[in-house]
C-alpha cells in the first residue's frame, strides 16, 4: 500500500483543499495529514496572540473532521522553518511516505522552506506535488501585454475578470470517508508554546461550518448593500471573512462561487462585484509578493521613499497604539482592533494615514503593530495596505493625498455611533460636536476625560508634504 502525506499550513479545511483532494484520489492509498507549529518563526513574523488562538481552535476542529473521514492528523512543534524541514524528512522516513501533497505559500521564507523540503524529499524518492490553492488564479497568470506584473490595480482587476470569464476555477469536494472511518481521537492538539489570547467567538466562531454559514449569510443578506455600507463602521456591512481566509479555513474559490450562485451577474458589475473586487485586491497583493520578493523584506516599492525622514516619537506612537490621539475616529478604531483583533477596512486606512501622514512615523512600525494585533493578519494584504496608505507602494495613494481624520469621521460616522461604542468617555458630547469634542468642552466649560489632539492636522500635513518633497528631490 502506498502512503500519501498532506502537509497542512494555512489551509485548515477539508472542503476545496487542493492538496487534500489530490492526496485522496487514490482510494487504495493510506492518507495522513501533518501540521507543524513553528512558534519561533511566528514570533519573527509577528503573529498576533489572537490569531494563534484562532488557528489552534480551527486546527482542533479540523482534526475531528479528518478523523471522521479516516485521516489521522499528526502534530509536531519545533522552533522554526529550518527545524520543520528536518522533522518533515524524519516523519516521511518513519511512515514510509511515498508522496507529499501541499498547497503553496507565497512569502519568501515559506517558499525557501518548501524548496528545501522538496530537495530533501526528492533525494529520498518521495514525490512532491504543490498546488496554487489560496488564490483564484496563480501568480504570473495575469500579466500586462508585455508579459510583466501589473503595477496598478485597476488594469489588473480588468484583466483578472477577463480571465475569470474565460473559465472559473473549480472547487474540490471534501474527501469521502476512507476505510476505517470514523475513528476516535486519542491525542488532541496541545496548546501551542506561543502566547494565546481569547477572541470574540460570537463574531468569529471557529470552524469551516461557521465560515461557510457566514459566507452564505453575507451573500444572501448583505452583499446587495455592500457599496453603501462598506465604509460605515457602525453598520454590519462587511463580510468579516478575512480571518478565515487568512489561515485557509475558507478558500477564495468558495467565496467566488457562492457570490455567483446568489448573484449570477456579479462579474459584470453591480453591488456584488464591489465585494468580489476586494477579493481581487487580495490576489493583487499576493501576486505582487511573487513578482517583487523584496516586498516580503518590507522594502518600499517606490525607492525614493527610503529617504523620507521618519520621526521617532515614542509618546506619539504609544498614543496611537492605545487610542489616545485626541482624534475620536482614530482612537475608536485603534481600541476596536486592540479589543477584537479586527478593524473595519475604512478605519485601517484612516489610522494608517494618521500614523504616517499626521505623525510622520515610519509605516514599518504601524505595519508590525497591526500584525501583532490582527486576527486576520496576512503579510501580503497588511504590507500592501500600509504601503498604499504611506504612499510608498505600487498603486499607492499619491503622497500629497492626506486624510483629514476629523472630516473622515464626519463622513463615515456622522452621528458618532461607532465612536461612542469605543470611547465611552465621550458619551455626553452631542452628535454635532462628537468629532471635535474639546471645542465643545471648551465652549461649554466642561471637562473631558479624553486627551487633547496630539498634533494639529493642518500643521502636520504641511510638515509631511515638505518631508516627502525633500525626499523625492534628493532622489
Residues identified as active-site: 278, 281, 310, 345, 363, 386
Would you list which residues are annotated within the binding site for FAD?
Answer: 226, 238-242, 275, 278-285, 376-378
**How far lies 345's CA from each of 229, 239, 421, 475, in Å?**
12, 11, 17, 33
Task: Return the HEC string of the chain.
Answer: CCEEEEEECCCCCCCCCHHHHHHCCCCCCEEEEEEEECHHHHHHCCCCHHHHHHHHHHHHHHHHHHHHCCCEEEEEECCCHHHHHHHHHHHHHHCCCCEEEEECCCCHHHHHHHHHHHHHHHHCCCEEEEECCCCCCCCCCCCCCCCCCCCCHHHHHHHHHHHHHHCCCCCCCCCCCCCCCCCCCCCCCCCCCCCCCCCCCCCCCCCHHHHHHHHHHHHHHHHHHHHHHCCCCCCCCCCCCHHHHHCCCCCHHHHHHHHHHHCCCHHHCCHHHHHHHHHHHHHHHHHHHHHCHHHHHCCCCCHHHHHCCCCCCHHHHHHHHHCCCCCHHHHHHHHHHHHHCCCCHHHHHHHHHHHHHHCCCCHHHHHHHHHHHCCCCCHHHHHHHHHHHHCCCCCCCCCCCCCCHHHHHHHHCCCCHHHHHHCHHHCCCCHHHCCCHHHHHHHCCCCCCCCCCCCCHHHHHHHHHHHHHHHHHHC
Preceding peptide of 182 cis, ω within 30°: yes
Neighbours of 467 (CB within 10 A): 18
Q: Which residues pair with 32 in a beta bridge?
A: 5, 72
Residues 247 and 135: their CA atoms lie apart, in Å, by: 13
Would you list which residues are annotated within the binding site?
Answer: 226, 238-242, 275, 278-285, 376-378
Amino acid at each position: 500500500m502506498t502512503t500519501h502525506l498532506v502537509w497542512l499550513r494555512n489551509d485548515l479545511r477539508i472542503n476545496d483543499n487542493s492538496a487534500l483532494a489530490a492526496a485522496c484520489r487514490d482510494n487504495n492509498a493510506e492518507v495522513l495529514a501533518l501540521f507543524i507549529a513553528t512558534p519561533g518563526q511566528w514570533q519573527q513574523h509577528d503573529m498576533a496572540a489572537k490569531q494563534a488562538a484562532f488557528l489552534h481552535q480551527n486546527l482542533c476542529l479540523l482534526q475531528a473532521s479528518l478523523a471522521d473521514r479516516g485521516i489521522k492528523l499528526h502534530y509536531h512543534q519545533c522552533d522554526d522553518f529550518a527545524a520543520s524541514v528536518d522533522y518533515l524528512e524524519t516523519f516521511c522516513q518513519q511512515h514510509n511516505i511515498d508522496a507529499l501533497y501541499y498547497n503553496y505559500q507565497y512569502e519568501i521564507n515559506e517558499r525557501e522552506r518548501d524548496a528545501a523540503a522538496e530537495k530533501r524529499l526528492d533525494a529520498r524518492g518521495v514525490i512532491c506535488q504543490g498546488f496554487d490553492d489560496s488564490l483564484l488564479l496563480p501568480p504570473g497568470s495575469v500579466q500586462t501585454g508585455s508579459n510583466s506584473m501589473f503595477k496598478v490595480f485597476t488594469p489588473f482587476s480588468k484583466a483578472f475578470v477577463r480571465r475569470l470569464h474565460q473559465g472559473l476555477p473549480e472547487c474540490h469536494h471534501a474527501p469521502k470517508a476512507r476505510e476505517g472511518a470514523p475513528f476516535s481521537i486519542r491525542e488532541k492538539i496541545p496548546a501551542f508554546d506561543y502566547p494565546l489570547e481569547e477572541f470574540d467567538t460570537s463574531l468569529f466562531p471557529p470552524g469551516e461550518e461557521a465560515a461557510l454559514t457566514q459566507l452564505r449569510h453575507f451573500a444572501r443578506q448583505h452583499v446587495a448593500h455592500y457599496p453603501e455600507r462598506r465604509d460605515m463602521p457602525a453598520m454590519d456591512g462587511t463580510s468579516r471573512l478575512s480571518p478565515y481566509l487568512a489561515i485557509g479555513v475558507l478558500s477564495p474559490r468558495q467565496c467566488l462561487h457562492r457570490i455567483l450562485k446568489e448573484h449570477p451577474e456579479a462579474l459584470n458589475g453591480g453591488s456584488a462585484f464591489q465585494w468580489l473586487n476586494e477579493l481581487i485586491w487580495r490576489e493583487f497583493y499576493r501576486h505582487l509578493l511573487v513578482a517583487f520578493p523584496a516586498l516580503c523584506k518590507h522594502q518600499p516599492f517606490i525607492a525614493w521613499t527610503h529617504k523620507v525622514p521618519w520621526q521617532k516619537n515614542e509618546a506619539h506612537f504609544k498614543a496611537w497604539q492605545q487610542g489616545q490621539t485626541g482624534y475620536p475616529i482614530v482612537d475608536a478604531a485603534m481600541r476596536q482592533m486592540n479589543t477584537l483583533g479586527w478593524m473595519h477596512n475604512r478605519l485601517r486606512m484612516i489610522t494608517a494615514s494618521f500614523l504616517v501622514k499626521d505623525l510622520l512615523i515610519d509605516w514599518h512600525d504601524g505595519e508590525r503593530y497591526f500584525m501583532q494585533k490582527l486576527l486576520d493578519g496576512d503579510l501580503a494584504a497588511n504590507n500592501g495596505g500600509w504601503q498604499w496608505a504611506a504612499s510608498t507602494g505600487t498603486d499607492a495613494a499619491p503622497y500629497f493625498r492626506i486624510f483629514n481624520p476629523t472630516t473622515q469621521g464626519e463622513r463615515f460616522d456622522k452621528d458618532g455611533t461607532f465612536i461612542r461604542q469605543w470611547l465611552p468617555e465621550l458619551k455626553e458630547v452631542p452628535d454635532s460636536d462628537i468629532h471635535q469634542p474639546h471645542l465643545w468642552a471648551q465652549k461649554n466649560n466642561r471637562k473631558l476625560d479624553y486627551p487633547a489632539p496630539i498634533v494639529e492636522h493642518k500643521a502636520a500635513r504641511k510638515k509631511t508634504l515638505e518631508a516627502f518633497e525633500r525626499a523625492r528631490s534628493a532622489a
